[in-house]
Amino acid sequence: MNWLKFFVTVLLIACFSPLRAEELKAKFTFQNEATTFKEGDLTEAVIKVWPIENPDLNEFKKMQGESFLNKLVLLHIQSVELSANNSEVVEVKGLFVFKNKLDHSLSQLSYKGQMISIVPVDLKLEPIKETPKDFFVMSQSLGLKNNLFPIMLGLFLVLLAILVIKRKALSLIIKKYKTNKEEEQKKKFAELFQSACERYDFERVYATRKEWMLLLKEAPQKFSEFFRVMELHQYKRKWGNEELIEVQNCFEIIRGSFK
């Protein structure tokens, strides 16, 4: 009897399970109401899959690049989300292209091993008409040849004008960048000069002299006394009050250099 109970239990689960593969459906909804398309046409469509409780949306993102309905190729998935009206409906919105010859095409979707039937859609695909061969009479060929030089000259002048404009715009951008950078440097050193009062401050000014002197137009002779005094005291282990006052007095001459 135990085997009979087991058989009945398995049968009931198989009959009433909400996730049976045959119960899952997939349907295409097209933004364009047309039913006839040409090969190469692009269209937006939504694949609706239902009913799935607590679906794994990442599984549906794997469909990109797949072929459906013997005509459609999913080029790009735009979104994968639950329907606003039903949480058991998954909506995959994507951009599709119509193709006439497909290596393979899915008639069912696969979701974690479960096969999902796709509701058939009546779509007609018109083949691309062959492009007629072009024929040129002699007068047309000669006209094209005669007009080739002016056309090439015009294209060259347009290209030259674009290059000149781009070069000028690039020069202005570089100049503006250099000007802004120089102003930032001046502002930084101006703050340093105005706040300098201790040994560490004066040593920073002296150490960066090659940088800030490039930003000033004054002659180097104006700073020579400060440099001389710094060279005299900078290697001393400790500054006394006399050394500090001497350096301060020399620095006062150049303190306002960045005003």
CATH value at residue 20: 2.60.40
Domain membership flag for residue 137? no
> In 10 A of CB 206, how many CB atoms?
17
Domain membership flag for residue 140? no
Domain membership flag for residue 200? yes
Among 229, 193, 228, smallest CA distance to 208 is for 193
Over 50: is that where the pLDDT of 21 sits?
no
pLDDT of 39 reads 81
Burial class (CB in 10 A: 0-12, 13-18, 19+), 223: buried
Give bridge partners of residue 67 from the DSSP assignment: 73
Domain membership flag for residue 237? yes
Rounded CA-CA distance 49/66 in Å is: 16
Over residues 23-50, the mean pLDDT reads: 82
pLDDT of 32 reads 73
Token pair 């949306």: residue: 57
> In 10 A of CB 83, how many CB atoms?
14
pLDDT interval class at 19 (50, 70, 90): very low
Domain membership flag for residue 243? yes
pLDDT tens for each residue of 166-181: 776 666 566 555 557 8
In which region does residue 184 sit, left (phi positive, over 0), alpha (psi from -120 to 50) or beta (all else)? alpha
Rounded CA-CA distance 26/120 in Å is: 9
Among 184, 190, 185, smallest CA distance to 254 is for 190
pLDDT of 225 reads 92
Burial class (CB in 10 A: 0-12, 13-18, 19+), 212: buried
Among 92, 107, 97, smallest CA distance to 52 is for 92
Structure tokens at 189: 């050193």
pLDDT of 227 reads 92
pLDDT interval class at 139 (50, 70, 90): very low
pLDDT tens for each residue of 228-249: 999 999 899 999 999 999 999 9
Rounded CA-CA distance 87/57 in Å is: 12
Q: 124 near 35, Cβ under 8 Å?
A: yes
From 92, 107, 126, the end of a domain falls on 126
Q: 90 near 60, Cβ under 8 Å?
A: yes
Number of compact structural domains in the chain: 2
Find the domain containing 228 and state its range.
Answer: 185-258
Most confident of 5-14, 123-132, 147-156, 186-195: 186-195
* C-alpha pair distances (Å), 239 with each of 12, 86, 211, 232, 248: 96, 81, 26, 11, 12
Over residues 18-31, the mean pLDDT reads: 69
pLDDT of 243 reads 93
Rounded CA-CA distance 192/184 in Å is: 13
Domain membership flag for residue 224? yes
